[in-house]
Amino acid sequence: SENYIAEDLKRVADTGQELRYLWDKPEEPGNYIYEKLSLVRYLKAFDWYICSSVYTEELLRSSNTLSQRILVLAALTLLASLTLAGFFINRITRPLDRLADTARRVSAGDFSARSGIRSDDEIGMLAGSFDGMVARLKSNIDDLDTKVRLRTEELLATSARAQRMQAVGQLAGGLAHDFNNLLSIILGNLLLLRERHPPDADGLMDYLDPPIHAARRGADITHRLLAFSRRETLEPEPVPIAALVREVMHLLSSSLPDNIRLEAAIHAQDLMVHVDPGYLENALVNLALNSRDAMPQGGSLCFGIDRVEGPVAGYDEPVAPGAYVMLTIRDSGAGFSTDARAHALEPFYTTKLNDLNSGLGLSMVYGFVKQSSGYIRISNVPSPATGACVTLLLPLARPQAEGKVPPVLQEALPEQALQGRLLLLVEDNDGVRAVVREQLLALGIYVVEAGSASEARQLIDDLPALDGMVSDIMLNDGEDGRDIALRLYRSNPRSIILLISGYASESQVRDKGEKVFPLLRKPFDRQSLGQALWRALHHEEEHE
């Protein structure tokens, strides 16, 4: 500025501006190459100028030192921050990763997976709740698996038992058919022999009566076999179950020992079932007699009635949905053994040491129940009580208006109603056909025989004077006797038509047009045949 330094310093005093100029250093006098910075204040009271100066390089050196220190401190602070951040991030994310991994294992089906996180913070509480939920879920699934396994085993056992019973039933039905044909020949010839000889002919009756009794006993067994195989001919109708049970109890009250007490637990009075009342009564009596034999020292026998809604568990087959009447027969005897419960419904199984017992009582009940679209359960009375319990489930039926009551048949057969009539006899078994022919001739009926369905059809076409026919249902050539009966019925609706069979597979003998023909079971005697023909005659008169 070409001014003296002092003047420049005075000029910038109290202006807030610093003065920059070149100056020497004490160690280098006269060498004015170092920049210096000065700040001047003027003290007016004393008329003084106070100047403070510093070399610029000293300021830069201090600034660089401070900057370096600040940079080092910032780096240390950043490193510490990153370390702390990594620590806290790891502390938070690692448990979350473990929890997420555990959730993935659980979703894949590994219900034994646990997070293992143990802490008192929010993540620890979340992990503890998650592990507890998985443990409860595993426990519930294990319980459900156990129940499903047990139920599956029960259903498999029930299915196997049902298949076994079906197979045995088919075998029993087939045997009963053949056995009935044999019994028809044996019993028919024995009865004809007894009719043609006087009762006191050299003690002949002493030789005839035992085989006749044995043949009828055999016929009863075959009927029970047919009932077990569900091929017995039933005549179902709406039945008030409470009234029927009371009638059976009244009947049993006079036939059971005095030390057996009859009880009733009827919780529904107006329930109806669609069954054959005679077979239901027979089933209840059979069950009551079994209970009697199980209580030689006396006890109680209780009949219970209630209404239930299916499906229910524990029966011989899975119960279909619907309304049912539950009929319970419970005694206070020793109950069923494990072996008896497994085989009680099978034919010829018995625990009674009695030569007269056939082992078909419960089998017949089983067949009747199944043929009536019902279910059966064999069980014991729950502890601490003892006793056996047989439960029948029968479909609930709606009450129906009373229909026409069939006329009561006369005890004596009017010979004039059947004598002189011409009937066609269709039977493929020569022995059975010979017996039935003799029985028809003894009734005063003329007989034309056919050993096959083709012969029968030819005779129907060639003999318009036929008054009726007696035909077996099952013929060896694969024909159905019902088709032949329908052929005759269509040609002469007033025909007397009677079907005979030892192997009826339907509850009613119907053709495709729902025409019902009377049925007579083999074996039968002459009186039974006459009564059946008398019914067939009235059957056609009622439907004219």
Could you report the per-residue pLDDT of 421-478, keeping only the tens digit for each?
999 999 888 888 898 998 899 888 999 999 888 899 999 999 988 999 999 888 876 7
Model pLDDT, residue 326: 95
- Over residues 258-277, the pLDDT tens digits come to 899 999 999 888 899 999 88
Distance, in Å, from the CA atom of 386 to the CA atom of 336, rounded to the nearest integer, reads 10
Helix (H) or strand (E) holding 392: strand 388-397
> CA separation (Å) from 447 to 84, 162, 229, 438, 486?
117, 45, 34, 9, 19
Nearest to 494 by CA among 473, 468, 475, 512: 468
Domain annotation for the chain: domains and CATH numbers: 1-105 (no CATH), 124-228 (1.10.287), 237-397 (3.30.565.10), 415-542 (3.40.50.2300)
Q: Is 146 helix (H, G, I), strand (E, B) or coil?
A: helix
Strands 468-472, 496-501: pairing kind = parallel
Q: pLDDT (tens digit, 9 = 90+) per residue, 62-94?
A: 788 888 899 999 999 999 998 888 887 777 777
pLDDT band at 509 (very low <50, low <70, confident <90, very high): very low
Whether 532 has a pLDDT exceeding 80, the answer reads yes
- Residue 413: pLDDT over 60: no
State how far Cα 55 lies from the chain centre. Answer: 107
Paired residues of 26 in beta bridges? none
Angle of helix 122-195 relative to helix 526-542, nearest 10 degrees, comes to 110
Cis peptide before 29, with omega less than 30 degrees from 0? no
**Range of weakest confidence among 5-9, 20-24, 521-525, 537-541:** 537-541
Greater pLDDT, 424 or 172: 424
Instruction: Tell me which DSSP letter residue 222 carries.
Output: H
Task: Give the global pTM.
Answer: 0.49
Report the mean per-residue pLDDT for the chain. 80
| Most distant pair of Cα atoms in the chain: their distance | 185
DSSP at 480: B
Give DSSP secondary structure letters for 17-83: --EEEEE-BTTBTT---EEEEEEEEEETTTTEEEEEEEEHHHHHHHHHHHHHHHHHHHHHHHHHHHH
pLDDT score recorded for residue 11: 85
CA distance 395 to 320: 10
- Residue 288 in this model has a pLDDT that exceeds 80: yes
Residue 245's pLDDT is what? 93
The answer to whether residue 185 scores a pLDDT higher than 50 is yes
**Using one digit for the tens of pLDDT, what is the confidence trace for 310-349?**
888 888 888 889 999 999 999 998 888 888 777 777 766 6
Q: Which residue has the tokens 């006993």?
A: 217
| Residue 441 vs residue 230, higher pLDDT | 441
Name the most confidently modeled range: 37-46, 354-363, 511-520: 37-46
Quote the CA–CA distance of 541 and 339 in Å, as a whole number.
54
Region 409-422: mean pLDDT is 65
- Report whether pLDDT(407) > 50: no
Q: What percent of the chain has pLDDT over 90?
A: 18
d(CA 242, CA 399): 13
Radius of gyration from C-alpha coordinates of the chain = 53
